[in-house]
Amino acid sequence: MSSYFPDSEMKTESPVSGVSRRDFLKFCTIMTATMGLPAGMVEKVMAAVENPKRPPVIWLHFQECTGCTESLLRATHPTVEHLVLDIISLDYSETLCAAAGHQVEEALHASVEANKGNFILVVEGSIPTADNGIYCKIGGKTAMEILKDIGPKAAACVAIGSCASWGGVQSAYPNPTGATGVSELLKEVPVINLPGCPASPYNILSTILYYLTLKKLPALDGEGRPVFAYGRLIHENCERRPHFDNGRFAEEFGDEGHRQGYCLYKLGCKGPETHANCPSILFGDVGSNAWPVGTGHPCFGCAEKGVGFHKPIHEQAAVYTVAPPATYPDFDEPKGKGIGVGAALVVGAAAGAAVAGGLKFSKVLKESDNSEEKKN
Ligand code: SF4
């Protein structure tokens, strides 16, 4: 999937600038499915996008690299950011504001007061808490003070990216600035975490669309993430999963297994313990393998608290769910030389469990083979 908008030519009128009506319909259908809503909701999603009444959004930047905004705005296809910026009223964003200094500070506070209790607060970046938060100051105030002042006046807060969700790279050991996520400090309003480094622009858009369509927040998991986007482990939907189940692993970067597209578990892939929809919706809008594992790099767990930026890349992931596929392809070998389907199922499960336990797959396969031979 290279883009949600394969055909960007303007053919008929569309509510979004630069998007054809046909692509707009297609997009709303895909977004409805992404949000886990029934097909009958497509019209409501379209109506929400077309509604001229746009929710006010205040977008604050704290301790971060601006990568989430950049990945949203610099997408190879221009439509996602058009949609985001067309369906919201972005009243304040330090990255996008043309004004600066006192002028923009006044605009921020005027918008907060005018929309008290109604605006959506978007936070990008972690909040340093060490030494009274002096490591991040804007307009003479610390990030902690700004969040404490503006946060409780919002209707809800969306913490975009791993930094705003739980500290991100700044919170890596020894975390000298005491970097933490928004939900640790803002308790007065609901906080939705959209972790990722950067967060997927599609998940940002889906979350906003969900709110606009259903007038409520999406169901969240125990880490405050929308279930529709973070409800499944990467490992469950990864295209390399059949290799994992069959014990085919890249042992080092550039080896034959790596070139063959084998599973990256032994190279430190954190897919088995990271919840995110990267393999389903892909990432970066740049081709059919547009996500880290698709390009041959192990997932480093950026969307999972305590994994990305905390577990070394070479450390193997804990495997919580080693569920083998329901069926395996038949083997052509004559009976007695190869292994039967029943044994293959056992081997598949054992392989995953064995790798999880640090055993060599070849040892498991050999033992299983021996037991088959004994039976025959
Ligand atoms: Fe995919 Fe990583 Fe799981 Fe292997 S360990 S199947 S590369 S998510």
Cα 298 to ligand 1 centre (Å): 8
Looking at residue 355, its pLDDT comes to: 38
Average model confidence (pLDDT) across the chain: 80
For 234-375, which CATH class? few secondary structures
pLDDT tens digits, 212-243 = 888 889 999 999 999 999 999 999 999 999 99
Which one of 3.40.50.1370, 3.40.50.920, 3.90.226.10, 3.40.50.700 gives the CATH number of domain 21-226?
Answer: 3.40.50.700
Largest CA distance in the chain: 84
Cα 331 to ligand 1 centre (Å): 24
Upper half-sphere CA count for residue 274 (Cβ side, 13 Å): 31
Q: Which has the minimum average pLDDT: 130-144, 153-167, 252-266, 284-298? A: 284-298
The radius of gyration of the chain's CA atoms, rounded to the nearest angstrom, is: 24
pLDDT of 372 higher than 90:
no
pLDDT tens digits, 92-113 = 888 877 777 888 888 889 999 9
Cα 244 to ligand 1 centre (Å): 7
Closest CA to 81 of 89, 91, 71: 71
Q: Which of 269, 273, 278 to mutate to test the pocket of ligand 1 (most atoms within 8 A of CB)?
A: 269
Atom of ligand 1 nearest to the CA of 272: 3
Spatial separation of the C-alpha atoms in residues 309 and 332, rounded to whole Å:
45
Query: Which residue's CA lies nearest to atom 4 of ligand 1?
Result: 263
pLDDT tens digits, 193-214 = 999 999 988 888 889 888 888 8
> Residue type for 67, please?
G
Cα 274 to ligand 1 centre (Å): 10
Looking at residue 253, its pLDDT comes to: 95
Cα 303 to ligand 1 centre (Å): 15
Cα 374 to ligand 1 centre (Å): 33
Query: Which residue's CA lies nearest to atom 6 of ligand 1?
Result: 241
Structural domain boundaries of the chain?
A: 21-226, 234-375
Claim: this prediction has a pTM higher than 0.75: yes
Looking at residue 50, its pLDDT comes to: 80
Looking at residue 286, its pLDDT comes to: 61
Looking at residue 200, its pLDDT comes to: 87
Residues at CB less than 6 angstroms from ligand 1: 234-235, 238, 240-241, 244, 263-265, 269, 271-272, 293, 299
Q: Which of 289, 293, 355 to mutate to test the pocket of ligand 1 (most atoms within 8 A of CB)?
A: 293
Length of the chain: 376
Atom of ligand 1 nearest to the CA of 243: 6
For the record, the structure tokens of 124 come out as: 């990008």
